[in-house]
Structure 1
């Protein structure tokens, strides 16, 4: 008989398995549909013109493949902060920390970015006239900063109330968030649509050629479509992760991709043809406020413009709400691995990682300080996201080979093709984000490595040192440094030298990615080490269905496969964590 099972933790209170399919699906979909839909289409159109539709299609294919890979991993290894755990199982503690660190940097900055995006969108609203929210350099004024701080505080309070409270409150928000873009598509296409915009504007269908199509990807396209992995991050609190996590990820990704592609079609078709007769630098014309807001007014749908202003608050609010929780789960996972301070694993009576949620709020406040605009931050977050995603396909392939006895309730189709394809896709996204973004993210990862070394020096955890496999993780820095070199020699972003010709650069990235992929898989930890790492987490992250008295648990099966018939043991010290 199935029952609610809880996850023992360092902090004494358990993470509670209370989130069902709809809660998981809406958490992922709510992360996908945020400020990206309000601002992403404009940036893509400026870069690629009508061919920006191809940019969305390319991104959708790439991210759907990565979503399928995360669905496989999330169902097979249902733990909190999954993106930090999968590389740990395959390549050890250093790889797990590297993936978790970059995933944390990505997740913890999205909530303040969403808030800033909402405030920027609302700056010129009729009722906001005379209220200075954003400075000329796109940073927040004191009033704007106060509003942003209050928003982050609300996100934090909702997360502290519990995972079920978060998922349930998020469902209503996501229904609104999905309904408004769908309504916008229908109304704009019905009232104002100019088919000639797709071929007769300046430069035709692709005014900036293939380069413009690829360059559009980091300018809000990939940022908009990211977020499907949230169901995997919360798998440790899923009621039935073996059944629900994969379905939630795939459903959310398909809905999100369809919505964004149709939004770009509607946007291109609704533009005044006169605005793009010369170029696509300013497709909305002088004095533009917000892409769909302006188009709704031009179409005579003032009521829709009002709805869009409301959504400019609701959509980023929902996404920021989820990402405060997501970043907390990742830092919780890193704390569980003893790579970050143990207080991050303290769990409240409501079953949420209290310390990690508070830390996410504090870092969010720091991110609101006078940093670059929404568009500038989006490129860096996209790069961090792609690096985080890249760890998943190589980890899955390694685990398929080295942890062959593991049950996979959902299997990614054609893994021999899609796992290397997913790794290549993530690396192409990193390359297209440009040299400047790549070296900055590499610097942030280097800072994380210093933190890791400090944790290693101070840690007394036998498990932390046991899981530290330097050889298995030795592919990571050659991979990252190679990407920086390709970015420098390539054709995208500030500082690139434009040495590699068009298309030749793509071939270099693809070839380099495949070499690193298969080299990394060859370095994966031994089956018995993987079974030990997974088995100990199985001890802590209890099975979903209460096992029969005589039935072996998944942890016991893994331990037996590793030659340990006695099964998993408690961590050192004798008690559960």
Structure 2
């Protein structure tokens, strides 16, 4: 067993990130490929109600983000999501959450690379298989792998330089969507299209679009400011401001983009209904609409942005994911070699792992929307711990200094947990089956390694602290199977499914509180983490 002093031998991360750097890191993580494709897919699923989908998605993510804003100020460390799980339910949950967080982070740079290649296929068609709805060709796969390698190399820079590069990219990423909103709304002559084909979409589509259209996926990047918490000199102030500010900024941009997209459509595009929305250049939706409206300059700008926006998001997710791996090594939930830093004080081996495994993820999900479903489900699953950890720490450490304190936590935290589970449910049975199978495989392998290879006692694994995970994961999977989304049986109808998921979430949260660490255990865990800071 390594001592705490050993953990510090690899060095300390630089604290060069300021409030603007953190705000823009989260903002650029949100305004990526989601804005290039989300409005198109949301329109096909929910029609004009897709505007409500973006607003609802912002509310859900803000509830979750408020929980993490309080927790992040308490854990001002890089890879803070790892530390939160240890503090609430001990090493056993911490080890599992490291696996889940890695599964959530590592495919995002890959999906951003796929977005770049998909847009480029409008003028380089050999990047996509013909007639495959966006599935990569062999050449497209290698191009994506190369793009991932570039983001990894850029991540080896000093964090201050990296965030300066990202700040420049973020100004561009905010400006281009704003120009797109103004340009499309000014050029549109079919503002009444919102009333077209009213029988071709349903109210339920407004909810299923949240994961299926990449809406929740687009908002998930608020966590980047949390991941870089150990690299800012004033984390107690900067992290909450960056988290909340980035969600508000992204919500305004995304809602207005959806409005502009719908107004720019022609009734001809909806001749076969919203579900079959089609127009020339739809593989690059906003650029295609701009060209249709005679805005050639905007189409060109958007094809350029199709490299910059996803590229910037992928860049930041490699940064965040490598910090999660750094924290995994720091807490001895994974190989300690992950804490090794290069001369720029960057965890270089963790960055390398993000590149290699991210490339592998291109294989089972060779199309943008296919990977987005999975990422949404696994990421929101990891976020579900936040409301639980917040209430555990409120109970066990009421005197702990909280620079940011979420209002009405006993009500809003359970609401955030319910929303997390609803998003997972709406992702659908097929995606959730794949997700929970991956989780089960990881859990079984690690348990076997822990007990058979390391020969450690069951009491040290923390089985009693993680007992609530089986009813949580198993219950959501069962409800997905009984529901009618993504291959479910359709036994549970719309409305009843929301009620059942909400009720089950409340039960699981009560179980989670009962399984949490005792007061003295939480204090000991916090002291252990303080010793490594």
User: Residue in 2 aligned with 1:488?
Assistant: 481
Consecutive unaligned residues in structure 1, runs of 5 or more: 1-6, 542-577
User: Residue in 1 aligned with 2:266?
Assistant: 272
Question: In angstroms, what is the RMSD of aligned CA positions?
Answer: 2.0
Do the aligned partners of residues 8 and 63 (structure 1) sit closer, same or farther apart at CA in structure 2, a change above 3 Å counting? farther
Report the alpha carbon displacement of residue 467 of structure 1 after superposing the two structures with TM: 7.3
Report the alpha carbon displacement of residue 540 of structure 1 after superposing the two structures with TM: 1.2
Report the alpha carbon displacement of residue 260 of structure 1 after superposing the two structures with TM: 0.6
Report the alpha carbon displacement of residue 177 of structure 1 after superposing the two structures with TM: 0.8
Please state if 1:530 is matched with 2:530.
Answer: no
State whether residues 13 and 348 of structure 1, in contact with CA within 8 Å, keep that contact through their aligned partners in structure 2.
no
Equivalent position to 2:192, from 196, 203, 218: 196
Equivalent position to 1:209, from 194, 202, 205: 202
Equivalent position to 1:284, from 270, 278, 290: 278
1:47-75 CA distances to partner (integer Å, 9 max, x unpaired)? 11001111111111000111111111111
Please state if 1:157 is matched with 2:150.
Answer: no
User: Residue in 1 aligned with 2:169?
Assistant: 173
Please state if 1:497 is matched with 2:489.
Answer: yes
The whole-number CA distance in structure 2 between the counterparts of 1:467 and 1:234 is 30
User: Residue in 2 aligned with 1:226?
Assistant: 220
Equivalent position to 1:258, from 252, 258, 278: 252
User: Residue in 2 aligned with 1:384?
Assistant: 378
Higher helix proportion, which one?
Answer: 2
State whether residues 46 and 283 of structure 1, in contact with CA within 8 Å, keep that contact through their aligned partners in structure 2.
yes
Equivalent position to 2:58, from 57, 60, 74: 60
Please state if 1:509 is matched with 2:501.
Answer: yes
1:152-186 CA distances to partner (integer Å, 9 max, x unpaired)? 12111111113222211111011111111111001
Report the alpha carbon displacement of residue 142 of structure 1 after superposing the two structures with TM: 4.0
State whether residues 8 and 540 of structure 1, in contact with CA within 8 Å, keep that contact through their aligned partners in structure 2.
no
The answer to which of 181-190 and 346-355 deviates more is 346-355
The whole-number CA distance in structure 2 between the counterparts of 1:370 and 1:229 is 25
Which of 1 and 2 has greater Rg? 1
The answer to which of 223-232 and 208-217 deviates more is 208-217
1:104-163 CA distances to partner (integer Å, 9 max, x unpaired)? 1111001011001111111113xx3xx611223333334333332221121111111132
Do the aligned partners of residues 329 and 147 (structure 1) sit closer, same or farther apart at CA in structure 2, a change above 3 Å counting? same
Report the alpha carbon displacement of residue 468 of structure 1 after superposing the two structures with TM: 4.3
The answer to which of 502-511 and 10-19 deviates more is 10-19
The whole-number CA distance in structure 2 between the counterparts of 1:451 and 1:333 is 21
Report the alpha carbon displacement of residue 202 of structure 1 after superposing the two structures with TM: 1.1
Report the alpha carbon displacement of residue 346 of structure 1 after superposing the two structures with TM: 1.3
Report the alpha carbon displacement of residue 471 of structure 1 after superposing the two structures with TM: 1.7
State whether residues 380 and 437 of structure 1, in contact with CA within 8 Å, keep that contact through their aligned partners in structure 2.
yes
Please state if 1:419 is matched with 2:417.
Answer: no
User: Residue in 1 aligned with 2:28?
Assistant: 30
User: Residue in 2 aligned with 1:558?
Assistant: none
Report the alpha carbon displacement of residue 368 of structure 1 after superposing the two structures with TM: 2.8
Report the alpha carbon displacement of residue 277 of structure 1 after superposing the two structures with TM: 4.1
Please state if 1:364 is matched with 2:364.
Answer: no
Do the aligned partners of residues 489 and 111 (structure 1) sit closer, same or farther apart at CA in structure 2, a change above 3 Å counting? same
1:284 match: secondary structure: coil
Do the aligned partners of residues 193 and 432 (structure 1) sit closer, same or farther apart at CA in structure 2, a change above 3 Å counting? farther
User: Residue in 2 aligned with 1:575?
Assistant: none
User: Residue in 2 aligned with 1:442?
Assistant: 436
1:372 match: secondary structure: coil
The whole-number CA distance in structure 2 between the counterparts of 1:539 and 1:348 is 22
The whole-number CA distance in structure 2 between the counterparts of 1:378 and 1:389 is 16
The whole-number CA distance in structure 2 between the counterparts of 1:193 and 1:90 is 55
TM-score calculated relative to the size of structure 1? 0.87
Do the aligned partners of residues 8 and 213 (structure 1) sit closer, same or farther apart at CA in structure 2, a change above 3 Å counting? farther
Do the aligned partners of residues 223 and 193 (structure 1) sit closer, same or farther apart at CA in structure 2, a change above 3 Å counting? farther
1:310-362 CA distances to partner (integer Å, 9 max, x unpaired)? 00000111011111111111122222222222211212221111211111111
State whether residues 156 and 321 of structure 1, in contact with CA within 8 Å, keep that contact through their aligned partners in structure 2.
yes
User: Residue in 1 aligned with 2:341?
Assistant: 347
1:437-468 CA distances to partner (integer Å, 9 max, x unpaired)? 11111011112213432553489799x99974
Consecutive unaligned residues in structure 2, runs of 5 or more: none
